[in-house]
Amino acid sequence: MGLPLGAALAACGTSGPAPSGGGAGGGAAGGSGGGAGKATYWFLQGPPGEAPRTASVERFNKANPSGQIAITTIQNDAYKTKIKTAIGANQAPTIIWGWGGGGLRSYVQAGQVEDLTSWFGENAAVKDRLFPGAFGAATIDGKIYAMPCETVQPIVLFYNKKVFEKVGAQPPQSYGDILDLVKKFNDAGVAPFSLAGQSRWTNMMWLEFLFDRIGGPEVFQAVFDGEKDAWNNPASIEALTKMQELIKANAFIKGFSSVTADSNADQALLYTGKAAMMLHGSWSYGIQQEQGGDIVSSGGLGWMNFPGVDGGKGDPTNTVGNPGQYLSISSKATPEQKEIAKKFFATGVLDDQEQKDWVGTGGVPIVKGSDKLFAGSKDAEFLNFIYGVSSNAKVFAQSWDQALSPTAAEVLLDNIAKLFQLSISPQQFASNMNAVIGK
Amino acid sequence: MSAISARRTSSAAATRGGGVLPWLALPALVAFAVFALIPLVGVLLLSFTSWDTLGEIQLTGLESWRQVLTDPGLPHALWVTFLIMLLSWAFQTPASILIGVFLAGRQRYRELLAVLYFIPLLLSSAAIAITFKALLDPNFGLGAGLGLDFLTQDWLGEPGLAFGVVIFVVSWQYIPFHSLLYQGGVRQIPRSLYEAAELDGAGRIRMFFSITLPQLKYTIITSSTLMLVGSLTFFDLIFVLTEGGPGDATRALALDMYKRGFQANLMGAACVIGVILVLVGLALALLLRRIGGRDPYASQLEGA
């Protein structure tokens, strides 16, 4: 019986630095003491992001002795809970770091973040130098509530060139090729695709692409906009059916439902050659480089955008993933704190040095022309590819679980797991999901 | 749960004598009120609201209750919880009794084994779950490493197998503790009973069923209560091992509550499940006391 009580307590147990007054409390990497009017900023701990973020704030503080920012770094999973609790308790930091989309919408509905539309109107230069696609997930009902920042992370189809050579196969140019490759690799005793099925969002990436390629971005947009029975769209049912056909054709590694992404077991399947291909976020490149032995340095890792589906409506240049990360300003902050935050957005975020730092971690900053910084990088080829995919995409859709509200996202991931288990039919999936549209 | 101490009626007699002693319960009562009763009231109140942890807490009466009680996920979670409870009990109890009886012997090697058996209890559930998850990985786990095909199953991906793995790992963790209870229980059985039975010509098996088991009755009740009520709150292990999956095959009540509260941001609904968990737990504890017999303080121990 310990758990219900513990859960109730946990909601009250998190405390953070107060929004007004001293901002020195609680920070693992907190600033140098607090003064009145100091802005606070929480973000994620650990590589690759912590170093560029910290350095950028330090440069800002050095240049602005009168308006300092105090930072607190928090681990990924802990952050998601802590930031929600802090915002709910009116204890939010001045600058709220996040993923945009559905999470941001819930802050907006609770009236907890500043509307930045007019600020961006007055500071058009700040807006115009960033990828336009990054603003979609920052925009709620036509108003901008967050400053896009950091890097773009599209989902990419990775493949192991050595396995392709051994089997004598070519990378797929269409969905039909994928079906042929599935058969070819299975005959050769290699799993066609690696998949960390237990993590659920990994399965979701497949649906995101199939939906886009078959029906175009409008299909999911209708869900996002809360249209009634949007999942019943024929394109949606076709994509779900194709998904289950792939699973039945053994397109994914045997036992994929036991594989987890946290342990990078899906990455290992690709670089050890047990699987030929893998659909994953662009950050997978860094993991392959770090853990995959010589797969990257020897040119064994291939990458491409997901191919088109024959007869599908979607543009094969479209992509999905994280169009950026997002910074919002707490509406509960003091006017001085808000001013500091806006100054940071205008002069600190993604300055030249921060862009270089992100490129150094293998990321592509969401700044137009940041590809100039790739020259000389050992990862230039991959970075240029990501830059090209992101800037050429007609539509850069946000990952579904980030775009939807947390409530709907949980139902979505649940039903995706069942769909991949083949325990529900495409039609059942659609009805289950229709029930939470707009929630 | 206090059956061990309560077994000695002499302690009850002692309390009757002094007037000061009830005050000794005060610190415990205060702690209980602050850390159990007050949060419980909070959970009960929250169950009549809708709260996404961000906005205002809205009083919505029975809305959260209606939402949870009409959700087909609830009977499923109840059923999963019940199955985990029953199967882990059915698996752990015989194993614990046998190991406990074995370890009750005074031989040196048994004392050594007793120490070794105890080790799983020293590990945290999360560590155990992560270890088993790695061992059972179909591509890089034990089966693939040793080249044993029968170990290369989709252990956490097939609903039936995943359920079996959960029961096994839970049992692996808790059997040592219950063996310890039974070891203590067996050692308290008077030697004279066995000597008398030996004179009458009873064999080992006959002695086990006619003396050891009946004498262990209250230990069995204690251990079963701990197992059944404890299994209601299995969370960490299942969460790390399967996250309630595949699909919702291992989504027990505690997991369902967490997912609703902290992943789907439906605190009202999560609190409803919290209340249901508490009620089920209380009902279970009461039921077990009833089954335990009319006079739970009766004992066949010498001098009691």
Distance in Å, alpha carbon of B102 to nearest chain A alpha carbon? 32
pLDDT at B225 over 90: no
Average pLDDT over residues A237-250: 95
Q: Would you state the structure tokens that stand for residue B167, as one six-digit string?
A: 């029961």
Cα torsion angle, B114, B119, B125, B130, sign: negative
CB contact under 8 A, B271 and A8: yes
With respect to residue A4, please indicate whether it lies within any of the assigned structural domains: no
Q: What is the pLDDT of residue B166?
A: 93
pLDDT at A24 over 60: no
- Taking the Cβ of residue A346 and every Cβ of chain B, the question of whether any pair is shorter than 8 Å is answered with no
Average pLDDT over residues A25-45: 59
Least trusted range by pLDDT, from A34-43, B54-63, B196-205: A34-43
With respect to residue A315, please indicate whether it lies within any of the assigned structural domains: yes
Interface list for B 95-154 with A (CB within 8 A): 133-134, 136-140, 152-154
CB contact under 8 A, B257 and A269: no
Would you place residue A13 in the very low, low, confident or very high pLDDT band (cuts 50, 70, 90)?
very low
Would you place residue B12 in the very low, low, confident or very high pLDDT band (cuts 50, 70, 90)?
very low
- Taking the Cβ of residue A425 and every Cβ of chain B, the question of whether any pair is shorter than 8 Å is answered with no
Would you place residue A32 in the very low, low, confident or very high pLDDT band (cuts 50, 70, 90)?
very low
With respect to residue A25, please indicate whether it lies within any of the assigned structural domains: no
The beta-carbon neighbor of A421 closest among B152, B247, B254 is B247
Would you place residue B19 in the very low, low, confident or very high pLDDT band (cuts 50, 70, 90)?
low
Structurally, chain A folds into a number of domains equal to: 2
Q: What is the pLDDT of residue A66?
A: 86
With respect to residue B185, please indicate whether it lies within any of the assigned structural domains: yes
With respect to residue B15, please indicate whether it lies within any of the assigned structural domains: no
Would you place residue A12 in the very low, low, confident or very high pLDDT band (cuts 50, 70, 90)?
very low
Average pLDDT over residues A369-384: 87
Q: What is the pLDDT of residue A287?
A: 85
Mapping DSSP onto H, E and C, the string for A245-283 reads HHHHCCCECCCHHHCCCCCCHHHHHHHCCCEEEEEEECC
With respect to residue A279, please indicate whether it lies within any of the assigned structural domains: yes
With respect to residue A3, please indicate whether it lies within any of the assigned structural domains: no
The beta-carbon neighbor of A265 closest among B137, B260, B266 is B137
Q: What is the pLDDT of residue A372?
A: 85
Structurally, chain B folds into a number of domains equal to: 1
Would you place residue A82 in the very low, low, confident or very high pLDDT band (cuts 50, 70, 90)?
confident
**Mean per-residue pLDDT over chain A, rounded:** 86
Q: What is the ipTM of this complex?
A: 0.75
Closest CA to A270 of A282, A288, A257: A288
- Number of Cβ pairs closer than 8 Å across A and B? 141
With respect to residue B17, please indicate whether it lies within any of the assigned structural domains: no
Q: What is the pLDDT of residue B299?
A: 52
Distance in Å, alpha carbon of A327 to nearest chain B alpha carbon? 18
Q: Please, what's the b/e burial string for B225-237 (b: 16 or more CB within 10 A of its CB; e: otherwise)?
A: bbbbbbbbbbbbb
Query: Are A64 and A115 in a shared domain?
Result: yes
Q: Which amino acid is at A269?
A: L
CB A108 within 8 A of CB A62: no
Distance in Å, alpha carbon of A3 to nearest chain B alpha carbon? 6
Average pLDDT over residues A55-69: 89
- Please give the residue range of the domain that contains residue B175: 49-124+156-292
Domain with B165 in it: what CATH number? 1.10.3720.10
pLDDT at A8 over 60: no
Query: Are A267 and A301 in a shared domain?
Result: yes
Q: Which of A87, A106, A200, A258 is the best substitution to test chain B (most B C-beta atoms within 10 A)?
A: A258
With respect to residue B139, please indicate whether it lies within any of the assigned structural domains: no
With respect to residue A403, please indicate whether it lies within any of the assigned structural domains: yes
Average pLDDT over residues B99-128: 87
Q: What is the pLDDT of residue B97?
A: 93
- Please give the residue range of the domain that contains residue A366: 39-150+324-373
CB B187 within 8 A of CB B106: no
pLDDT at A14 over 60: no
Closest CA to B182 of B157, B205, B216: B216
With respect to residue B223, please indicate whether it lies within any of the assigned structural domains: yes
Query: Are A225 and A179 in a shared domain?
Result: yes
Average pLDDT over residues B271-277: 93
Burial, A110: exposed, middle or buried (Cβ in 10 Å; 0-12, 13-18, 19+)? Answer: middle
The beta-carbon neighbor of A257 closest among B55, B229, B246 is B246
CB contact under 8 A, A9 and B232: no
With respect to residue B118, please indicate whether it lies within any of the assigned structural domains: yes
With respect to residue A95, please indicate whether it lies within any of the assigned structural domains: yes
Query: Are A200 and A311 in a shared domain?
Result: yes
Look at the block and give the residue holding tokens 């940071």: A344
With respect to residue B18, please indicate whether it lies within any of the assigned structural domains: no
pLDDT at A22 over 50: no
- Taking the Cβ of residue A3 and every Cβ of chain B, the question of whether any pair is shorter than 8 Å is answered with yes
Domain with A103 in it: what CATH number? 3.40.190.10
Entry pTM: 0.80
Would you place residue B231 in the very low, low, confident or very high pLDDT band (cuts 50, 70, 90)?
confident
Would you place residue A89 in the very low, low, confident or very high pLDDT band (cuts 50, 70, 90)?
confident
Measured between beta carbons, the chain A residues lying within 8 angstroms of B137 are 258-259, 263, 265
Least trusted range by pLDDT, from A201-210, B48-57, B154-163: B48-57
- Taking the Cβ of residue A291 and every Cβ of chain B, the question of whether any pair is shorter than 8 Å is answered with no
Q: Which amino acid is at B88?
A: S
pLDDT at A334 over 70: yes
- Taking the Cβ of residue A107 and every Cβ of chain B, the question of whether any pair is shorter than 8 Å is answered with yes
Query: Are A231 and A90 in a shared domain?
Result: no
d(CA B97, CA B119): 18
- Taking the Cβ of residue B281 and every Cβ of chain A, the question of whether any pair is shorter than 8 Å is answered with yes
Q: What is the pLDDT of residue A160?
A: 94
d(CA A434, CA A372): 45
Residue A21 vs residue A361, higher pLDDT: A361
Distance in Å, alpha carbon of A405 to nearest chain B alpha carbon? 8
Distance in Å, alpha carbon of B105 to nearest chain A alpha carbon? 35
With respect to residue A29, please indicate whether it lies within any of the assigned structural domains: no
Backbone angles phi, psi at A70, to 5 degrees: -100, 130
Q: What is the pLDDT of residue A258?
A: 86
Distance in Å, alpha carbon of A12 to nearest chain B alpha carbon? 10
Q: What is the pLDDT of residue B3?
A: 43
Q: What is the pLDDT of residue A245?
A: 94
